Amino acid sequence: MSKIPPVLLLLGPERGEKEAFIQTFLKTVRTHTKDEPEVHKLYSFERSIHDALSILRNGSLFTGSRVVIFEGVDSLKRKEELDPLLQYIRAPAPDGVLLLLSDRPSVEKKLQDALPESRKKIFWELFENQKKEWIQNFFQNNKVSISQEGIETLLELVENNTRDLRQVCQQLTDFFQKKGKILPEDIEQFLYHSKQETVFSLFERILERRLEASLEILHKLLLEGEIQAVGILISLTYQLRTLRDYLRLRNQNYSAQEACGKLRILGKRTQRAYAAGEKNYSLQESEQMVGLCADFDEYLRAYRTDYHSILLELFLYGLIEKKGKNPLEFEQDW
């Protein structure tokens, strides 16, 4: 596999483009080796980098090549984690490929410096006009029309990476295919009131400070398995940052209508949701809530998936009952 790079570092928040790159890369491996590679996907919160390196170094009885995708490489910070990886980069397995992934744009400097620029790629979030064009092209290719206001509503409600956008756009296409067009109110109705619960309906319950209803939706999402705990947290982080920005504008004496206009919050249902959030949370509390997202992002990456459900339950408790204070931190009364 001399023509295939043995190690690649793929960074950045644009998960859709990153996944498309990986699929193209795997096709290249198949073409070059004339064989189906053995592909392993490991997450840093479940498996160690030692497990990934062990898979690469140990030969397979069934195929001549192996590809290991290691998600969450930004969590590798300790010397006992980094040193074996750096050693592997210097002397990689001849029939293996290691793809190191992170949603963040950078990792430990020693790791970044160990790879040439040709083996590093950052997938940045698309610009606003690129996102709109992407959505327009998706629906055109599926012979469904959508207005510019509908596109704005979609971008307002969905975390802006093409993986999440593709999932929601496909769901909307399947549901409105016969109708042939999608209106802004259709998007709101679908995302907030479809029988299948979504992160958007969960966010609405958080803004209403309804803990029991939030937990019920969370359990349904995890049970359905279409979105992992980390994905739920990422989507909520995106929405909570918008809440914080909305409350900042309101604190600067912008009217609710002006604040919604600046943040492109166009849907009536969504505007009402943020109005409920304003009644239940202060600007300071919304900033704490965004900080809590960062705390629980670290927890989810540090602990195995067995603990993710209870961690998200604690996260919702921290958001709703403690208004952004970390429920896992000890509070002194003096």
E strand map for the chain:
7-11, 38-43, 66-71, 96-101, 120-122, 145-146, 181-182
Give the whole-number percent of the chain exceeding pLDDT 90.
50
Among 152, 172, 195, the domain boundary falls at 195
Q: CB-side exposure of 175: number of CA atoms within 13 Å?
A: 16
Residue 58 reports pLDDT greater than 90: no
92 and 110 both lie in a single domain: yes
CATH number at residue 208: 1.20.272.10
Q: Report yes or no: 96 and 6 within 8 Å, Cβ to Cβ.
A: yes
Among 95, 122, 149, the domain boundary falls at 122
Q: How confident is the model at residue 34 (pLDDT cuts 50, 70, 90)?
A: confident
Name residue 7's beta-bridge partners.
98
80 and 141 both lie in a single domain: no
Q: Number of folded domains in the chain? A: 3
> pLDDT for 175-232, tens place per residue?
888 888 998 888 877 876 665 678 888 999 999 999 999 999 999 888 877 678 888 8
Structural domain boundaries enclosing 316:
197-328
Q: How confident is the model at residue 315 (pLDDT cuts 50, 70, 90)?
A: very high
Between 8-22, 60-74, 280-294, 318-332, the lowest mean confidence (pLDDT) is in 60-74
Q: What is the Cα–Cα distance from 8 to 70, expressed in whole angstroms?
A: 10
131 and 98 both lie in a single domain: no
Q: What is the Cα–Cα distance from 275 to 315, expressed in whole angstroms?
A: 22
Instruction: Give residues with Cβ within 8 angstroms of 304, minimum separation 6.
Output: 45, 46
Among 195, 213, 240, the domain boundary falls at 195
Output DSSP code: residue 108.
-
65 and 170 both lie in a single domain: no
Q: Give this prediction's pTM.
A: 0.62
105 and 154 both lie in a single domain: no
Instruction: Give the DSSP per-residue string, 60-86.
Output: -SS-S-EEEEEE-GGG--SHHHHHHHH
CATH number at residue 12: 3.40.50.300
Instruction: Give residues with Cβ within 8 angstroms of 62, minimum separation 6.
Output: 38
Smallest CA-to-CA distance from 164 within 100, 172, 146, 265 is with 172
* Amino acid sitting at position 259: A
Residue indicated by tokens 């590679």:
37
Is residue 207 assigned to a domain?
yes
233 and 310 both lie in a single domain: yes
116 and 153 both lie in a single domain: no
SS3 call for 297: helix
181 and 302 both lie in a single domain: no
Please say whether the dihedral angle defined by the alpha carbons of residues 58, 60, 64 and 65, taken in this order, is positive or negative: negative
Is residue 28 assigned to a domain?
yes
Instruction: Give the DSSP per-residue string, 245-265.
Output: HHHHHHHTT--HHHHHHHTT-
Is residue 157 assigned to a domain?
yes
Residue indicated by tokens 């699929």:
23
Q: What is the Cα–Cα distance from 53 to 51, expressed in whole angstroms?
A: 6
The stretch 261-286 carries a mean pLDDT of 89
What count of other Cβ atoms lies within 10 Å of the Cβ of residue 213?
A: 16
Is residue 312 assigned to a domain?
yes
